[in-house]
Amino acid sequence: MGISILKMPYLVQKEIFEQMGYMELFDLTFMSRPLKYTAHSLHIPCSTFEWRVGCPRTSINITLKDLNQRNVKIAFKIDKVPSNTMQKRVNFKRKLPIKRSGKQFVLKCGKDDAENLLILEDLTQHLLDMLRVEDFLLMSRLNLFGTNILEKTQKFSSFKLIYQDLTEEDTKKILESLEVDDFHLNFTGPKLRDGPKDFDLKHPIMELGNVDWLSIKSILAAKCERLLLGRVNHITQKDFSDIVRTWANGGFENLQELKLQVPWTWEFSDVRDSYVYRDDVYKSFDDMDITIT
């Protein structure tokens, strides 16, 4: 008669875990808190740890290496699944229905986004206790400020927020406190009543969409390699000239590519005297060896 792994000494449990497939290992950690604590000492190498929040469902996707150094991708989803197909497992601080299928686990979602974020926080902590992560990635349609997700790391390979209203403080945090290789704000930004503000633009790749909230001074001081902006409605002809001339004269520290859209008013012939035609703006750079498209 075999001995339950629960009754084995800690070092034996750890040795068994090290030879076990990842799905079986995670399965056991969901079932048993004592085994979960044993797994904390494994520090499993994890190439990528990706949060996808409300896109449209919520999940964590990880990439590990098997014993032959081949990539193993595992998904942990928070989703609607018929309860009769699931087994009750001891999970986190509560009993939560969970189903294992192929290379994924499905945790039954809560009644609303707020409850799903609580589940995501518990799931995140459960996994990070066992993993040694190389690269973090995040894509979210839900506001994560106030959760523990953004406290788990300050470094991301990719960071993307979609359709979110941010506070000025939250905007400053993600622009200036985080280290991100590829940074995207999609229909996302602060709602500022008192006009554009100064923010540091320092992530290597930044795609920010329309930026009525961003000062021209911030653009002129950008340290990005690629800065991709949408429409900049408050930019003037002088601002545009300053940006182009600064770049052409080597004033930007790292910039390789810059895109922005000028105001619609530049397109019309009946603009106020303070505006000039777009083509006239471009012609003002004829004395410089640059191309604007």
Structure tokens at 248: 């052409």
Shared domain for 181 and 243, answered yes or no, is yes
Same domain, 226 and 281: yes
User: Does residue 149 lie in a domain region?
Assistant: no
Going by DSSP bridges, is the β-strand pair 58-65/44-53 parallel, antiparallel, or unpaired? Answer: antiparallel
Within a domain: 147: no
Distances (CA, A) of 183 to 53, 140, 151, 226, 286: 16, 12, 17, 10, 34
- Mark whether 118 and 7 lie in a shared domain: yes
Q: Which two tokens stand for residue 73?
A: 């991708």
Residues 35, 28: contact at Cβ < 8 Å?
A: yes
Specify if 253 maps to a domain. yes
Triad 169, 175, 179: Cα angle to 5°: 130
pLDDT exceeds cutoff 50 at 273: no
Q: Say what percent of the chain tops pLDDT 90.
A: 59
Boundary residue ending a domain (86, 107, 137): 137
Mean pLDDT of 104-125: 94
**Same domain assignment for residues 9 and 44:** yes
Which single residue is written with the structure tokens 């985080």? 178
Q: What is the pLDDT of residue 84?
A: 67
- My answer on whether 126 and 51 are in the same domain is yes
Work out the average pLDDT over 267-274.
Answer: 49
Distances (CA, A) of 96 to 32, 36, 107: 13, 16, 7
Beta bridge partners of 162: 186
Do 47 and 115 belong to one domain? yes
Could you tell me what percent of the chain has a pLDDT over 70?
A: 86
Q: How far is CA 44 from CA 25, 66, 103, 124, 156, in A?
A: 11, 10, 17, 15, 19
Q: Verify that 113 and 20 share a domain, yes or no.
A: yes
Of the three residues 137, 163, 181, the one that is the final residue of a domain is 137
Q: Is the pLDDT of residue 270 over 60?
A: no
Query: Under a CB-based contact definition with an 8 Å cutoff, are residues 234 and 204 in contact?
Result: no
pLDDT at 269 over 50: no
Residue 164: pLDDT band with limits 50, 70, 90: very high
Do 173 and 199 belong together in one domain?
Answer: yes
* Same domain for 252 and 118: no
With CA atoms as reference, report the closest residue to 108 among 117, 99, 100: 99
Same domain, 72 and 169: no
pLDDT tens-digit profile of 75-102?
999 998 766 665 666 567 777 888 888 9
In eight-state DSSP terms, residue 120 is H
27 in any annotated domain? yes
Looking at the fold, whether 219 and 128 belong to one and the same domain comes out as no
Lowest mean pLDDT among 5-9, 29-33, 130-134, 283-287: 283-287
Question: Is residue 144 included in any domain, yes or no?
Answer: no
Report the pLDDT value the prediction gives residue 90, as an integer from 0 to 100: 55
**H or E element that contains 283:** helix 278-283
Residue 19 shares a structural domain with residue 109? yes
Q: pLDDT tens digit string along 117-132?
A: 999 999 999 999 999 9
Structural domain range at position 214:
154-293
Q: Which residue has the tokens 């990719």?
A: 158
Question: What whole-number distance in Å separates Cα of residue 161 and Cα of residue 141?
Answer: 6
223 CB burial (10 A radius; 0-12, 13-18, 19+): middle
* Total number of domains constituting the chain: 2
Q: Which residues contact 4 (CB under 8 A, 6 or more apart)?
A: none
